[in-house]
Structure 1
Amino acid sequence: MKKLLAALLILVLVLSMTACSTYSPNDNPSSAAPEQSAPAEDSSTDDQTAEKPVIGVLVFDYSNNYCTYIRNAINYYAGEDVEIIMQDSQNDQAKQAEQVDTLLQRGVDALCVNLVEPESASTIIEKVKPTGKPLIFFNKCPSDEDMLSYDNAYYSGCSPYDGGVMQAEMCIDAVKANPAADKNGDGVINYVIIKGEPGHPDAELCTQANLDTLGAYSDGITFKNLDIQTANWRSDQAKDVMDAWIGRFGSEIEMVITNNDGMMLGGVEALKAAGWFGDDPQKQVLFIGHDAIPEAIPLIEDGTLYGCILQDAVNEGRATIVMAKNLCFGRPVEEDLGVELGAIKDFRSPFIKITKENTQTAVDIYNVALGN
């Protein structure tokens, strides 16, 4: 019953919303999510049973907290009728390529791959294509060209540009709800963006969507970007970036946007250490994060954050394993997804705006990922 309720919750969200961010907890080791009784480095035995299809799952880095939630969702929705071999690629693309070779040699029936480097998708496809086996990429999307080069390649993830647009819309909502955010009353909101890894599609597209959407807005107020700095998804680097901005811009900063919540945590830490979020009206800032991870919820509820965009790790993991199982059992790939695939055979999980009014939505979704 619990799985049914969780699945219904996800399905309702998919049907009701319109269509990746990476949270690296090197920054915050104590926050790593507890796992379900998930597979270890290799969850199978050498004596694979013929009755059960065997699905290989490669995760780019087990230390990445967001991917921990995806892993748990894959295990949660895998059920008892398939065998999962899940392995850690340890943020090493060469290692991941070797793992693909090994899994194919072992005769897996399908592969699910969270790429270390999206531009290396063609190498993985070249290995899998001669076998004709299903290949589901997740969380990091290959290029359209790569996806269309193999008929049996699919993708489960999100649309980072759409997420950036929705995050910018949340910024506009935040200013409308908090006119005092314009601290000097000049009709301009000065904002900074803490960006993820340079060149990473999620970081580039989300940031560009922020700039495009806020730059086009002119209904009674405008937005001015003071600076963009990368923190490589890391909380510790984000803290350093924010420290530098506090020294450089001080109370000129009226809004902070981050590409993920790991960096949000570092930015908040720096601001609090400098006395922000207290009684001084010049040391207030609207802060909008991305992912709505469990650690962000108390900060939304106490007003430190205005809100976050929820990138649904559970839905990404669910769609990944659902597609793999459908293909293994000869069912239509879209069965039980709740939506049609896109032009490159892609499932796009919808983003959700999370504010004080609906934090329970995020809690319910992550409870599945945490095995609660």
Structure 2
Amino acid sequence: MKSFGLKALNSLILVSSLTVGSAYADNFVNAYFYDLDDAFISNVDVALKEVAKHNNIILNINDAKNDADKQKEAIFSHDNSDPKIVNLVNVQDAKAVVDAAKKHNARVVFVNRQPDESVIKSYDKAWYVGSDAAASGKMQADLIARVLKEHPTFDKNKDGVINTILIKGQKEHQDTILRSSNVIDELAARKVNIKKIDEFYADFDKKKAVQLFTAALDRHPIHEIELVICNNDAMALGVIQALNDNGFNVGKNNISLIDYQVGNKFVNYIPVFGIDAIPEAIDAIAEDKMEGTILNDYTRLAEASLAIATESDTSRQALTSKLQLKVSQDGFVDVPYKMLSRIHDENK
């Protein structure tokens, strides 16, 4: 499984928007996001705008602010003959969105939050572009297993058991369910002996993660926590903020040079893992505040979504060739994950 270095990742994000073709059938697209305050979705929005600008596509961006009714009102009040890119607040609304598009023979591309497969399969101009949430959990487990093998001192009391806190996203969200179950199952399959000493939902939100992890520190002595697994980077950054407030994970810029040189930089350090590879998490990894993340490639997601919404030829063969992604006959486009961590930076 390929890891991705920090410098390589930054280069990818900067240049990959130049790879999309420009033979578009439409040059106007409505885009609907569930909540632009979400760190990952905010990066999708930025990438989508960059790709659109490069290809002379006009975007109409709509932010539902996590309000399903507001999002439905926006979708159904606009011209339903225009192509749509839709990041749903409530995936149960997908059928109504598809039904509206059908009446006008219009394209609709769902991103990041996957509707039921039957909805996508019910209409030949409905698509889903996203990543396999189960795969991200498995890849996160792979990365954790590698890090623990290379850093046996993270088992602070040397008892062969890693005391772990698992921080989940939204309770009913598919990504929460699949990422959480698969990271734990895969660690067990790899014979990594973890003990969940606590777990809670922080709704993919940094502020909630700060509050809830701070409360968890009242239940568990900080020196007994050996690993924190988060369903996304925003929550991981919240954990790091709470740790910083307690003198942990302060990073290489905030510890003595002597300690750093003699290998004591992780005395007050707990490995924290996330998913998404948002810029703030990449910075935290580079600063030795965070251990690792899984790249959920928002740039390629934006490219694929916009291409499907606007390209003249959306046959499986044409899209596979153009996007260099796995495209199914049923309208599903898979954007693969990649690993990123301190110890797996190919450029160091």
TM-score (norm 1): 0.77
Partner Cα separation in structure 2 for residue 52 and residue 170 of structure 1: 41
Q: Does 1:285 align with 2:270?
A: yes
Shift of 1:130: 2.0
1:332 equivalent among 315, 338, 342: 315
Partner Cα separation in structure 2 for residue 317 and residue 153 of structure 1: 16
1:356 equivalent among 332, 342, 345: 342
Deviates more, 1:180-189 or 1:277-286: 277-286
Give the match for residue 309 of structure 1: 294
Offset from partner CA, 1:44-80 (integer Å, 9 cap, x none): xxxxxxx954222111222223222212222222244
Quote the sequence identity (%): 27
Give the match for residue 237 of structure 1: 208
SS of 2:106's partner is coil
Q: Does 1:266 align with 2:238?
A: yes
2:33 equivalent among 59, 62, 75: 59
Partner Cα separation in structure 1 for residue 216 and residue 99 of structure 2: 45
Shift of 1:8: 8.0
1:195 equivalent among 168, 175, 188: 168
SS of 1:336's partner is helix
Counterpart of 1:148, as a letter, is K
TM-score (norm 2): 0.82
Shift of 1:81: 4.7
Q: Does 1:83 align with 2:69?
A: no
Partner Cα separation in structure 1 for residue 125 and residue 161 of structure 2: 50
Give the match for residue 119 of structure 2: 146
Q: Which runs of 5+ in 2 are unaligned?
A: 1-10, 251-263
Contact 1:160 1:205 in 2 (8 A): yes
Partner Cα separation in structure 2 for residue 138 and residue 314 of structure 1: 12
Partner Cα separation in structure 2 for residue 356 and residue 227 of structure 1: 25
Partner Cα separation in structure 1 for residue 314 and residue 123 of structure 2: 19
Q: For residues 157-172 of structure 1, what are the structure 2 equivalents within 5 Å?
A: 157-172=130-145
Give the match for residue 319 of structure 1: 304
Give the match for residue 4 of structure 2: none
Contact 1:217 1:223 in 2 (8 A): no
Give the match for residue 97 of structure 1: 72
Counterpart of 2:142, as a letter, is E
Shift of 1:342: 2.8
Shift of 1:89: 2.1
Give the match for residue 6 of structure 2: none
1:210 equivalent among 183, 194, 218: 183
Taking a change above 3 Å as real, the CA distance of residues 331 and 232 of structure 1, as seen in their structure-2 partners, is closer
Deviates more, 1:69-78 or 1:253-262: 69-78
Shift of 1:4: 12
1:7 equivalent among 13, 16, 40: 16
Partner Cα separation in structure 2 for residue 137 and residue 130 of structure 1: 18
Give the match for residue 32 of structure 1: none
Give the match for residue 276 of structure 1: 248
Offset from partner CA, 1:270-304 (integer Å, 9 cap, x none): 11222324769774322112222211223212322
Taking a change above 3 Å as real, the CA distance of residues 282 and 6 of structure 1, as seen in their structure-2 partners, is closer
Shift of 1:117: 1.0
Offset from partner CA, 1:172-197 (integer Å, 9 cap, x none): 11101111111111111121111111
Contact 1:136 1:320 in 2 (8 A): yes
Give the match for residue 252 of structure 1: 224
Deviates more, 1:179-188 or 1:239-248: 239-248
- Paired residues in the alignment total 315
Counterpart of 1:224, as a letter, is K
Counterpart of 2:64, as a letter, is S
Shift of 1:248: 1.7
SS of 1:321's partner is helix
Deviates more, 1:231-240 or 1:62-71: 62-71
Shift of 1:131: 1.8
Counterpart of 1:337, as a letter, is L
Contact 1:167 1:308 in 2 (8 A): yes
Partner Cα separation in structure 2 for residue 4 and residue 262 of structure 1: 19
Shift of 1:112: 1.1
What CA RMSD, in Å, does the superposition of the two structures yield over aligned residues?
A: 2.7
Contact 1:10 1:315 in 2 (8 A): no
Taking a change above 3 Å as real, the CA distance of residues 197 and 231 of structure 1, as seen in their structure-2 partners, is same
Contact 1:52 1:83 in 2 (8 A): no
